[in-house]
Amino acid sequence: MSAYDLNDLVQEDRVHRLLYTDAALFADEMTRIFGGTWAYLAHESQIPRNDDFVTVRLGLRPLIVLRDGRGTLRALYNRCTHRGTTLCRRDRGSAKAFQCPYHGWTFLNSGVLSGVPWPDGYACDFKDAKFNLAQVPRVESYRGFVFGTLNPAAPPLREHLGPVARPIDEWLDRHPGGRVELREANRIKYRGNWKLAYDNSADGYHVVFSHRSLLEMENRLEEDPGKGMSFYRSKPDEAPMYVQYLGHGHHFKDKRPNVPKAPGALWAIEGAHPGMEYFEAKLRRELGPRADAALDLAASEPVNINVFPNLLILGNHVQVIEPVAVDETDLTWYATAVVDADGALGPAVDDVNALRLRTQEAFPNFGEVDDAANFEEIQRGLRAPEDEWVYMHRGLGIPGRVTTGADGVITAPATDEVFMREYLKEWKRLMEARPELAVRREP
């Protein structure tokens, strides 16, 4: 357990380097943040049928998130109650039961121990609940996004999400049936603290610098550079986009106001992608006047919806931050596909998705790699013990720049760092709260 007074480490305008470098603080985060508040676990489209499962982590805990035989969502600890072996080593699949590879103990996907080899060698009663798998006691879904917490005192999920539910709703509702399907992912590892990714996710200040090569690449064939994130190029604080802090650590950067509200407007600012001319022409032939709206579904939605501590919905991606160690993090950029939920797209849904998968490969390849390189260089810079502070005071103290609404939502220009200052207050609150965490077992 860390020995610091967090009031010293988290100040109004800056935080201490130890937040990113200290192994004891990291160990506390893995229970007080990951476990102490709601964390994103999985998406329901990854486990569409009963008995489907996917293996994930909650902090460092290996979990099997599944839909049991009755369709109930569960997050079982992937840990045999006998000696601690992980039961399931696959990324995903379908199973009614899990047999431990080490001594053959078998558990139903409800978590109940169903069999122990040669039980007459034991004097105990295996009906005792302590032999059933531990599971996350509170697992709830918000419109397909499955979250879990070990904190009995945490508010209900919907209340915890609060105002961030609105951009999530809007993000979903632009799709037929108000839903998407997760597909495979672009996966990036960096040697840096997990919060560097969360600091970055609503940061409008870094874009033209960290992503300069991407902006130049996207516009290299254009006479008039307006593709991609070009709206950051000059005076981004005067553009209609904005950043918001939404409470409970969640933040939101909304770039939609930069783009005209007209069918085809999102598609018009997409950079070059494989097959775009072919499939655009095909969709226009097939769908006529409805093609613009379909093409917008293949285009990136200009939002960053950041649900503390580990879910980043951006563009068309569902990105998950997975801490590995104080200085190592995995970022999984799940691609999403459109579902022809109302039959309106028909076979054209495959063409939309053929484009949409390609558009989603661009940022991980040509943007995120540079952010990740900068995260690694931050981690290297923060090794210097005497130079202690990380500043996040952009916008602080400028009258009228940051406004707070009646609902508590804080709004600021797109390059403001108020979202960092605010989420780190929530981080500090959770780290100091030291909630009593509990697992549940089937009786």
Partner 1 sequence: MSGEHDPSRSSWYVGDAFYRDLAAAFADWTREERRIDDPALRDRCAQLLAREARLLDGARYEDWLALFAPECLYWIPGTPGGDPRREVAVAFDDRRQLEGRIFRLRTGYAWSQVPASRTARIVSNVEAFRADAAGTLMVRSTFLVSEFRAGAARVLSGWCCHRIAEQLDGWRILVKQVNLIDCDQPLRNPSLVL
Summarize as ranges the residues that interact with partner 1 (CB under 8 A): 91, 183-191, 210, 212-214, 216-217, 220-221, 272-279, 281-282, 330-332, 335, 350, 353-354, 357-358, 360-361, 365-366, 369-370, 372-374, 376-377
Output 328 or 442, the one with its CB closest to partner 1: 328
At residue 340, the 3 state secondary structure works out as coil
At residue 312, the 3 state secondary structure works out as strand
Q: How far is the CB of 132 from partner 1 (least distance, A)?
A: 32
Q: How far is the CB of 203 from partner 1 (least distance, A)?
A: 15
Output 157 or 188, the one with its CB closest to partner 1: 188
Output 327 or 426, the one with its CB closest to partner 1: 327
Output 74 or 195, the one with its CB closest to partner 1: 195
DSSP per-residue string spanning 193-233: -THHHHHHTT--SSHHHHTHHHHHHHTTT-SS--STTGGGS
Output 308 or 333, the one with its CB closest to partner 1: 333
Q: How far is the CB of 417 from partner 1 (least distance, A)?
A: 21
Q: How far is the CB of 197 from partner 1 (least distance, A)?
A: 12
User: What are the structure tokens assigned to 152, written together?
Assistant: 């009995």
Output 278 or 389, the one with its CB closest to partner 1: 278
Distance CA 204, CA 240 (A): 13
Q: How far is the CB of 158 from partner 1 (least distance, A)?
A: 31
Q: How far is the CB of 59 from partner 1 (least distance, A)?
A: 16
Q: Which amino acid is at 162?
A: G
Q: Given the structure tokens 């049936």, which residue do they identify? A: 177
Residue 85 contacts residue 79 (beta carbons within 8 Å): yes
Q: How far is the CB of 217 from partner 1 (least distance, A)?
A: 4
Distance CA 438, CA 137 (A): 7
Q: Which amino acid is at 327?
A: D
Q: How far is the CB of 384 from partner 1 (least distance, A)?
A: 16
Output 165 or 276, the one with its CB closest to partner 1: 276
Residue 77 contacts residue 439 (beta carbons within 8 Å): yes
Q: How far is the CB of 113 from partner 1 (least distance, A)?
A: 32
Output 100 or 298, the one with its CB closest to partner 1: 298
Distance CA 351, CA 110 (A): 39
Please list, in sequence order, all residues whose beta carbon lies within 8 angstroms of the beta carbon of residue 374, skipping any fewer than 6 positions away.
Answer: 206, 210
User: What are the structure tokens assigned to 280, written together?
Assistant: 């655009």
User: What are the structure tokens assigned to 139, written together?
Assistant: 């697992």
Output 105 or 375, the one with its CB closest to partner 1: 375
From first CA to last CA, the distance across the chain in angstroms is: 32
In this structure, the strands spanning 106-108 and 113-115 are antiparallel
Distance CA 435, CA 308 (A): 17
